[in-house]
Amino acid sequence: MKLRKLVFATNNAHKLEEIRSILDAQFQILSLADIDCHGDIPETADTLEGNALLKAHFVYDNYGLDCFADDTGLEVQALDGRPGVHTARYAYADHHDPEANTDKLLSELQGAPNRAARFRTAIAFIRGGEEYLFEGIVSGSITTERRGTQGFGYDPVFVPDGYEQTFAELGVEVKNTISHRARAVEALCKFLHNKGRK
Ligand code: IMP
Give DSSP secondary structure letters for 34-77. GGT--SPPP---SSHHHHHHHHHHHHHHHH---EEEEEEEEEEG
pLDDT at 197: 53
- Residues lining ligand 1, judged by CB closer than 6 Å? 71-72, 87-88, 96, 98, 101, 119, 151-155, 167, 179
pLDDT digits (tens, 9 = 90+) for 143-172: 999 999 998 999 999 999 999 999 999 998
Task: Please identify, by atom number, the ligand 1 atom nearest to the C-alpha of residue 98.
Answer: 12
- Residue whose CA is at the smallest distance from ligand 1 atom 11: 153
pLDDT at 2: 65
Report the distance separating Cα 22 and Cα 15, nearest Å.
Answer: 11
Residues 6+ apart with CB under 8 A from 43: 51, 54, 55, 71
pLDDT digits (tens, 9 = 90+) for 35-63: 999 988 889 999 999 999 999 999 999 99
- Residue whose CA is at the smallest distance from ligand 1 atom 3: 72
196 pLDDT above the threshold of 60? no
Query: What end-to-end distance do the CA atoms of the chain give, in Å?
Result: 14
198 pLDDT above the threshold of 60? no
- DSSP code, position 153: T
For CA atoms 47, 48, 52, 53, the dihedral sign is: negative
The angle at the Cα of 79, spanning 78 to 82, to the nearest 5 degrees, equals 140
Q: State in Å: Cα 73 to ligand 1 middle.
A: 7
pTM: predicted TM-score of the whole model, two decimal places: 0.94
Rounded average pLDDT over 116-144: 98
Q: State in Å: Cα 3 to ligand 1 middle.
A: 30
Report the distance separating Cα 169 and Cα 62, nearest Å.
Answer: 41
Q: Which of 36, 40, 66, 71 is catalytic?
A: 71
- Residue whose CA is at the smallest distance from ligand 1 atom 15: 72
Active site residue 66: no
Q: Which residue has the higher pLDDT, 94 or 24?
A: 94
- Residue whose CA is at the smallest distance from ligand 1 atom 20: 155
